[in-house]
Structure 1
């Protein structure tokens, strides 16, 4: 026979052998799982369907019951697979091992291993609930770098923190795809990260060049001839350093906060307004008319202070007066329906001591204040901090069970007198705090103390 014909017959014989081998593999597959098949690292090749199911269940039992650890942005979150509804559909997984084609089966005969994926059941509702639970302690909002101030007006840097939020939908998908497949109980889940604009260098720059100079000394604002001193503590309360679009921290003064800090000192500036009130000295309430005045506005005051914030001491600025309107007009007072005095109370004190001066001073500030229907009277909010600039003197005050001198000491007698007047008027007592021990000049069980900002 010619050489060419012999080669052709040899190729045909090999091809026929290969086809015959494929038929043999297909026939043997009907009896069990092809050789060389693994599921999540568990060998099931050559086993029957029932044997394979038992083998997979036994091989996964320990790992499937272990807590699932999720790697998220450098942290580890842990969920309970059972509580999350996670499970493996073992029959479906075995069915997947039996779906091999002829070439896969041929590979098994030739010693080629094949890994089949698990069929994982990951119910979105239960799994999402577990993920949201652990996300409560993981998620955080982005915090831009800034500057804060202590009550003593000492600035401190606040470093920026990137925000992050666990991607619940992405995590459900990742767990469904990779749980028990990697041979580990720890897998990576996606996190949505919110970047910040401010850098650590910018925060330090703002601390040194903006915040510290801003509270280095008082600022005196000339309000058309009337001096108004703005203390570092006032500035610290109202100053905010916020990032612009480029991440630079820019100073801003909260107008309303600054104005509130200075509200009591503003009573001596310009021509202060006077709300309508009532005179009950005759026994019958009589309306005392309101009076408009001229004062510095909150925007003008903030602009004046902000304009010299970066200058070295001594710092001065100027601000104009403008027309100021009253809170309670004469007409409004007349329509309130105030017809009679419903409560009064009197306590007595000796003359001329510093504590007595403080009692008179707080009475002057509160006198005539009208509480409208639905409003809550707050003594500290009306009077503000007690300081010598506003006429208060050092006098004995109880501090941690001991009498010590403090500016404004003694005004608890005023607080007790006011509390009893409210009590006998039948008005609601929203909050009061008694002294730390009984003082004989006060009625037992009906006394109150006061300090600033809280008793």
Structure 2
């Protein structure tokens, strides 16, 4: 039987559709197979590669592959390389030292490093990729950096390594040349040093070079070459031997040691230069002693009164002097020379005339006796010595107009070296032995001379208790370092002081030009009279003492011209009682 054409086509159509669905079915089957396989691989990957970190992962040579984060953290903490904790070598200028990483705030954060090493995804692709990966991974460690701690540590290093610049210098000491070699100054740059330490940590590899910590350098102005030049050109010849100065047949030798004491070296613009303090050199005892004989000070004329007129009793004598300027000009050219002959040269001298002579007496205005006063005292060897010595030192004093005269400055300290001996004086309200005892007689005489000359007192003080041989309220005492007798020459003309002493008296006369026709003293009554007490003392310095009452008194100084009072001044004095003292 034959089927119809339509039936055949219908049958083919059904078979054709069945054949076209077969590839789709196959794709579905394949997909399922792949998914199943991938799932298996994913599970296998999770099992094979561990919890967090891929196999073959290393941090600074430490294998943490296949570990969990916690395991990796523990491994890095316990087995981290030495470079993470070893001291860091640093170079600061020419100084090399080490710093502990932790002390400068540098450590490895193991937990953060493990976190960095862990794979960021646990998805199938990443996990399966780990399973088939055969390579290794290198992870940089995570550095923990405590910046404030680093700055504090660098500051501590700077305290040890910073240094100030040292200038080159040359000085002279005891005839020797002392050289100070120059040295650069340096200062650690803290901010850049912190950055350099951070950049260098952790160090890897062997033979790691020191970390260069940046510094700012200050170079000295005076360099070593300049030191060498100055020593060769000046210092060595300057101290090679003495210099000798000549004037006529006189010779003055100055040793190298003495020269060195008065040489000064200064720097200007990096160059050294020397200078000689000629004024100080001239005052140096080693030079001054020779100058006294090498030259000669002028001898002042001595004045006196004859027939009511001021005359020159003894003519002065000119002297020959060397000035500080002349001394310096003579010495300095010889300092750069060597050899005895080359270091010998002339020095200029000048003639110095005395201030007082017959020729200039009238010109000075010293024309008359302004005042004179004498104090008598009981004879005693110590008084003869001390009063005579003080009068000798005062005699011939010339006080210019407006100038202030001082007893202590003129007489000097009352010591044995100055010609004084121990004598009786008032100390702590009683008589005691002390150097210079008795000079208050001279002070009282000078005070009365200036009083009646009408001159201006500047400083004076009376004895603590009254001494009968002095005029009450018109006397003075002195004590070295605590009490002086001073006056100012306000007469308008130069003033000459003439002083002389015998075994029992001292006289002081002022010569000049009077401002007033006469000056008188008017003493008031004694008031506030106080009886003395009685004391017993002992010791080698004790002196017996008779009693005397204390009192107050005022003395007027009256100035007159043409017999008419033109001015009056009051001087009040308080005396304490003089107790009776018995030495036991």
TM-score bracket, shorter-length normalisation: 0.3 to 0.5
Computing the radius of gyration from Cα coordinates, the structure with the larger value is 2
What TM-score do the two structures reach when normalised by structure 1?
0.46
